[in-house]
Each structure stands twice: as C-alpha cells, then as structure tokens.
Amino acid sequence: MKPALFSYAAPRSLDEALVLLAEHADDAQILAGGQSLAPMLNLRLAAPDWLIDVNRVPGLDVIEETAEGLRVGAMTRQNALLDHVADAPDWSLLAQAIPHVAHRGIRNRGTIGGSVALADPAAEAPACAIALDAVIRLASVRGEREVPASDFFLGLYETAREPDEMIVAVFYPRPAPGWLFGFDEVARRRGDYALAGLCAGMRVEEAFVRDARLVFFAVGDRPTRARVAEDALIGRNVADIAARAAACAAARAGIEVMPGGDCGVEYKRRLVGVLLERQLARFEAMGGDRDG
C-alpha cells in the first residue's frame, strides 16, 4: 500500500520545527528515524496531513555525558547510543537492552526520541528510561518542560506529550554507587518484539537491598514497575531465597497483563516470575560489583 497524501516540511532549526508543530499540532507527525512511522503510513494506520521531518535540525543527535548523567538528544540513533554506552558500567542497562531493539539496520535509523515518543508497550527504551529514573525533555513554542519517565507513559501508545510538543532529549541521571542493573527478555526470535521483558535496578549495600526499580515491559499497556515485589525485597539480603520467592509471587500476582498479542495472559504472567527469578539470582552473583 501507499500512504495517504500528506504535506512535507523539513525544518532546518528547532524553532522552525516547533512553529510548524504549533501550527499543525493534531494534524502533524514528526518524522524521526521513520522505522515505525513509515510502515504505519504505508499501512494507513497513520494518515497525518503534515510530516515534519526533523532529520536536518542540528544538535538533536548530540550525546553529552557529565558527572550528573547522560543527556541523549532525541535524534540520537539507537546504535549511536549503543556505541557510547558499550563499555560504560554506569549505563550497563542501556548496553544490555539496546541490542534487543529490532535489528542492526533498524537501529542505525531508529532514534531514542522516536522510541520513547511512540510508547510501544513492548519497546525496550521506555522501560530502560523508567528503570534509570530518566527525565524526558519536551519543547514547544510555549517553552520547555521536563517529565519524569515514570509519569510519561500513560497507556498503549499514549504519553504525557502534548500534540504541539516535541521530545528534544532524554536525561539519564548517573546512578549512585551501589546500583546494579540487569536486563532480560523473552522473544520468539532475536530482534522480535519481546513477549515479556524486565529492566531491573537494585541498590545493594553490604548485600542488603536498599532500593529497587523492577520495570516489566511487553506485559501491560505500558512499562510497569512491580512496586509490591520491590517492597518485598527492600531491607532483605540479596541471597534471601524466601524474600526472592515472595517478590516473584507478588510480581506475578500483581502485574496487569494486557490480553491479546502473541501469547496468552497466563503465559505472560508466568514469564514475569521467571524473568524476575533469573535476574535476582544474577544480582546475588553480582554482589556489590556493578560491572557484574
């Protein structure tokens, strides 16, 4: 199929892009890597009047690392971020997760901003953003604002972004000492969207869990923290088998599973427990060493 007719604009500055977005808001879509939008246009699942192609806007693909954290411009290609974080212990979650995003060719074009904006519940980048306590930076002609990743994903392909706003960056604060991170997912084939996945962070001091962020994706209508499971672990020893079993049971019982997709609700629920059990064993093996 071919897309429905649309007008095309290729702004050369962020200001120009934001003015176009303000003018056309609900009738416009930003074109980033096009890896999701182009198929959606061809299948006529999306039929915007305007495409605002931001590939020529300078400065949107810059990665800046400071003592405070990592600021990743929205147009940073997924593989460019992977290159940056590949050997960086603080960003081990991103280094583990990004290779699971589709295939190399798609990651060469697909952007971090596009993945976060799309809010596919099975995508890796939104779950990583929550597990790393990231902040999403949005810009419009009205100014800029920041939304914590934990408040950004509102439902199936739904976010806190207003129609006239554009994501300009994702900021990942540098994890404090003691944080360990792990990633796992189950997919039918490497590169497929996951059937269920987990981005896990845990702050461990002298083998005791002080804080946890356990974010499941490809399970509900958005990436979701398993708060009851986190509470079951906090204050307990990472090697405490009973606490770990209680956390897995709580995660399985408490998670909201969205029906439909590639497998049944009960199978996904089971995967939630398996993913967490495996990751907690890895955290025990990692002990206090963030490099694992």
Ligand X SMILES: Cc1cc2nc3c(=O)[nH]c(=O)nc-3n(C[C@H](O)[C@H](O)[C@H](O)COP(=O)(O)OP(=O)(O)OC[C@H]3O[C@@H](n4cnc5c(N)ncnc54)[C@H](O)[C@@H]3O)c2cc1C
Q: Give me the residues that bind ligand X (CB under 6 A), please.
A: 29-37, 39, 74, 101-102, 106, 110-111, 113-115, 117-118, 120, 123-125, 166-167, 193
Residue 89, CA distances (Å) to 68, 79, 241, 243, 276 in order: 15, 18, 27, 27, 21
Q: Pull the structure tokens for residue 109.
A: 């074009």
Least distance CB 22 / ligand X (angstroms): 13
Least distance CB 65 / ligand X (angstroms): 20
Q: Which is nearer to ligand X, 37 or 247 (CB)?
A: 37
> Residue 232 in contact with residue 243, Cβ under 8 Å?
yes
Q: Which is nearer to ligand X, 29 or 279 (CB)?
A: 29
Q: Which is nearer to ligand X, 136 or 202 (CB)?
A: 136
Least distance CB 135 / ligand X (angstroms): 15
Non-local (6+) Cβ contacts of 45 within 8 A are: none
Least distance CB 126 / ligand X (angstroms): 8
Query: Residue 67 burial (CB < 10 Å; 0-12/13-18/19+)?
Result: exposed
151 φ/ψ angles, rounded to the nearest 5 degrees: -110, 0
Least distance CB 203 / ligand X (angstroms): 26
Q: Which is nearer to ligand X, 90 or 124 (CB)?
A: 124
Q: Which is nearer to ligand X, 211 or 262 (CB)?
A: 262
Q: Which is nearer to ligand X, 170 or 180 (CB)?
A: 170
- β-strands 63-65, 179-186: how paired? unpaired
> Residue 95 in contact with residue 52, Cβ under 8 Å?
no
Q: Which is nearer to ligand X, 11 or 114 (CB)?
A: 114
Round to whole Å and give the CA distance between 219 and 131: 16
